[in-house]
Structure 1
């Protein structure tokens, strides 16, 4: 059976204009990603990786080129796309369950069914007994897992991961990269991740 193409990045370029002149962040980037693929882009800091994710997420408009999600051009944010940032951005005054539900709260979708779905995710991925704990009571790796579950709670088809393990120590980073790669495969998600670390990319 032929794989379905879910993301098309077509000749995307991005130029930032400042008082000092122009900075070319991206030049003529093209990439196709198919359903169920986990694609990792590796490059040094400042090479435009995060800019590309922001364009795919609809947070930035490219200077030229376009991005298509499921055949439709990206014109703004899209509920089919979830974004996981470099830091977990968990709210310290909310429990892990409350943090995981925050996206659903914003979308006014908290009900018995969605709460049960999120609790099941927490249970499945080793955070069930910590759901009433606060972020400060969790290790860095567990916090990142909680942040991923918060993203998965919205049931996006595609996940964008922007160096999501960079705040962790090296050994934890590799272990969590492996864990999150396993979660993405188990949940049958398509993902585009950027990192500067080749070992991290391989583990995912």
Structure 2
């Protein structure tokens, strides 16, 4: 009888307790082999090059490199593993950003453990892993797009940056407040200006104040 296929998994999350819980869940199914854990995006990129995982379970909101930045870095470095986002966020902007960036799945941390494990297994074998709420959103994405606010396309981190911009903070101050690099702040500002179809921080601030307030 042939040996059962084992999928090499890398867990990326900045919360130790969450990493332990995910590891313990995966270890209940011998189709998975957890090859490593990373507590940051930078560590994930380095570790992925060494352990060559088949699947990367990636948190979305982490200090330093966000999940989106980490996904871009992984692909830029030629990492071909299936990347499945595992997060608490069901914000449309986050879902859209990760799927458009090439994520192979999007799972919510509040899922039932058995359902979550089955979805990860499905992602490993078939290439798509989505929680039911995410699947429903994707199925109605086009219809939802027409009804969403101007900020629906922004990720949670981009909204954080925009709020600080609207408060009048400089890039350096925003970097300190959000615990990210100044260069990352610049990238987020460039992306949010493009998504909002405005040309300046002032215009983005006006749009923010008119639609959301502080």
TM-score above 0.5, yes or no: no
More strand by share: 1
More helix by share: 2
Structure with greater contact order relative to length (CA < 8 Å, sep ≥ 6):
1
User: Normalising to structure 2: TM-score of the pair?
Assistant: 0.28
